Structure 1
Amino acid sequence: MLRPTLVSPLLSLPGAVPAEGPDEGVAGHYGELFREQRALADGTGFVDLSHRGVVTVTGDDRLSWLHLLLTQHVSELPTGQATEALVLSANGHIEHALYLVDDGTTTWAHVEPGTQTALIDYLESMKFFYRVEVADRTAEYAVLHLPAGSITEAPADAVVRETAHGRDLFLPRAELTAFAAAHGPAIGVLAHEALRVEAHRPRLGLETDHRTIPHELGWIGTAVHLQKGCYRGQETVARVHNLGKPPRRLVFLHLDGSEVHLPPHGTPVRLAADGPESRQLGFLTTSARHHELGPIALALIKRNVPVDAPLLAGTTAAAQEVVVEP
């Protein structure tokens, strides 16, 4: 995953500790990780996601055109309705993940930090005769997340994308500091990530590698519409769906709480019975410390690993829960 180029002004807030890795540019936490998680779970505060890319598509043909390129059915997307969509390679591997909403004149999407340029290059190459304009709005608009249950009112000039997990705001970047002063507390991305892992929601660049297909992550249904075709990679989606045998599957892991350090992204996953030097069966994708569950993680493992088998993430004992059925 590419690194972002923008640094949030909210890193100047008291207690802000910068995030690392793909979330560099915003705060990982503001000094009290578990308190921030509890606040987010209770529907208070907001998360600064202003490092994410923002892409817009305007023009009369925008929805019918995007319908031809994305895995999701968007040709008749109602105004204000949120959805997710993927861009696949010709072989069905995931290249981009878009979090979409249309405001009636413009389709807005936020994407992983630094990926917007490659996405726009692809979209521009597919414009042909369609009446569409694609723009990188990252420098103008920042993404903020309000948790489910939040009573905070969105500013009048923000575009709102509402889901079961909360509301994403596309807010003019110049208003970030004023919004934070009026609608705190600010919550770091580590709390947001812990709740994402708890909810088993995949993230591009963490739960994916160069050969990941949507079926492996449970993105079928939420980001892939099985009753539409004519998009790049659709043949792979249909074939694997009909056979019912993706090569790997996403699992949720309860990690041994006695370990001091969380195993990082990419840590090999093996059968506990075979020991830490045995054959690798997958890799850990995201780990987090949860305010109630303790150390948890997501991992991508071979489909045929028994669902009740104790695992090892590196040398850390891990008990699995099924996310994607084998």
Structure 2
Amino acid sequence: MTGSPFLALPGAVPAEGVDEGVAGHYGNPMVEQRRLEQGRAVVDLSHRGVVTVTGPDRLSWLNSMASQRLDHLRPGESAEALFLDAAGHVEHAVHVVDDGERTWLVAERDDAPALASWLDRMRFMLRVEVADVSAEVAVVGAMPEGDAFPLDLPDDALRWTDPWRLELPGGHRYSVDPAHPGAFWRYVEVIVPRESLAGLAAAVRSGAAEPAGVLALEALRVAAWRPRFATEVDEKTLPHELDWLRSAVDLHKGCYRGQETVAKVVNLGRPPRRLVMLHLDGSDTVLPKAGDEVVGVKVRPEPAPGEEPERRVVGHITSAAMHHELGPIALAVVKRAVPPQLELIVESHGIDVAAAQVEIVPAGAGAAVDVPRLPRLGVRP
């Protein structure tokens, strides 16, 4: 896979880490964020992976394994789905769209080969074929108004609309904030033939649209509280912890691997960890990186003379960004029991960065149903 033609645009600075291979920015990520929000910019996401499934059994087969209902997916309709392990942990996350003959799964670059391999092993005798087509197609993103897109697209382009802003039937929302920032998240991804990338980049160069790097997109994503597989997920992640039941899980659908854990945590338990957004102190101009520890600071009501406040690691940063309005912000996964009013510090680059917590999954998120207590044996009224 050759380098993206978008990296040849003026001012392009390559991204690092999980987004290596595309432009991180084109000189001013703050301006690029505004252009994205205004529907004037496109983001090169040609480093994403794409897996396809063909065959008459494709939708019912995918539905049997996915957290989201896919068997009734109509051509052009978008969905998001997770594939879980037997204990309910997230193994793969995909953006799903079907064109009537083929189902397209957009995944993170590093996850696409493993996803295709796993799906291929699960075919058994069904009439399906799995292919990793990442070398043949590419993805570009934007935040357009309505059906418009900043650029003219090839006739065979396929559009995926992010359901994060919607209240989907069968989903479950942990966040109780009535002003959920996801309501303003108008994000779409378009799958195009990879050979058309050069033409799209040329159109941007000519002024048909503005370029925006992945840093701009990431800042808007963090502000929208939107989880991403490459950043927020680790080997222990349950979808509940990231408020991902909102867009990627249908609690009314039938059995799939991990479904028992999903139902049990929703109905009876509490997510063992929870996603929060952090407003960071920017006075030291330090932006934390993924993996930096989040520390809770507890001061005793009557500390002894010279006694230092107790510091305890309560979580870690998953994504951090500089937002054009909110300033430095981050997403972090913390322990469920961390009080929302607890003073938090992010230890980054040898500096303590103060952090104010905004609950996404509330600390008090509990059972969705009431289960009556059974009387103890031997106890009579």
TM-score (norm 1): 0.95
Q: In the alignment, what sits opposite 1:317?
A: 354
Q: 1:230: how far off?
A: 1.9
Q: In the alignment, what sits opposite 1:138?
A: 134
- Kindly indicate whether the alpha-carbon contact (under 8 Å) linking 2:154 and 2:196 is maintained by their aligned counterparts in 1: no
Match for 1:289: what amino acid? Answer: M
1:292 matched to 2:325: yes
Match for 2:291: what amino acid? Answer: G
1:166 matched to 2:187: yes
Q: 1:309: how far off?
A: 2.0
Q: In the alignment, what sits opposite 1:258?
A: 283
Given the alignment, which residue of 232, 237, 241 partners 1:216?
241
The 2-side partners of 1:308 and 1:229 are apart by 39
Q: 1:277: how far off?
A: 7.4
- Kindly indicate whether the alpha-carbon contact (under 8 Å) linking 1:270 and 1:276 is maintained by their aligned counterparts in 2: no
- Kindly indicate whether the alpha-carbon contact (under 8 Å) linking 1:85 and 1:99 is maintained by their aligned counterparts in 2: yes
The 2-side partners of 1:26 and 1:276 are apart by 44
The 2-side partners of 1:104 and 1:48 are apart by 26
Query: Aligned-residue CA RMSD in angstroms?
Result: 1.6
The 1-side partners of 2:194 and 2:67 are apart by 30
SS, match of residue 218 in structure 2: helix
Q: 1:128: how far off?
A: 0.8
Aligned residues: percent identity?
A: 53
The 1-side partners of 2:228 and 2:88 are apart by 17
1:304 matched to 2:300: no
Match for 2:336: what amino acid? Answer: R
**Range with greater deviation from structure 2 (23-32 or 107-116):** 107-116
Cα distance change of structure 1 residues 95 and 277 upon mapping to structure 2, 3 Å threshold: farther
- Kindly indicate whether the alpha-carbon contact (under 8 Å) linking 2:42 and 2:142 is maintained by their aligned counterparts in 1: yes
Match for 1:161: what amino acid? Answer: W
Q: In the alignment, what sits opposite 2:261?
A: 236
The 2-side partners of 1:6 and 1:323 are apart by 39
The 2-side partners of 1:249 and 1:325 are apart by 7
Equivalent residue runs for 1:30-45 within 5 Å: 30-45=26-41
- Please identify the structure whose Cα radius of gyration is greater: 2
- Kindly indicate whether the alpha-carbon contact (under 8 Å) linking 1:276 and 1:312 is maintained by their aligned counterparts in 2: no
Spell out structure 1 runs of 4+ moving beyond 4 A. Answer: 274-277
Equivalent residue runs for 1:127-206 within 5 Å: 127-149=123-145, 150-152=148-150, 153-163=152-162, 165-182=186-203, 183-206=208-231
SS, match of residue 157 in structure 1: coil
- Kindly indicate whether the alpha-carbon contact (under 8 Å) linking 2:297 and 2:310 is maintained by their aligned counterparts in 1: no
The 2-side partners of 1:39 and 1:60 are apart by 42
TM-score (norm 2): 0.82
SS, match of residue 21 in structure 2: coil
The 2-side partners of 1:74 and 1:312 are apart by 42
The 2-side partners of 1:276 and 1:109 are apart by 49
The 2-side partners of 1:184 and 1:253 are apart by 32
Q: 1:151: how far off?
A: 4.1
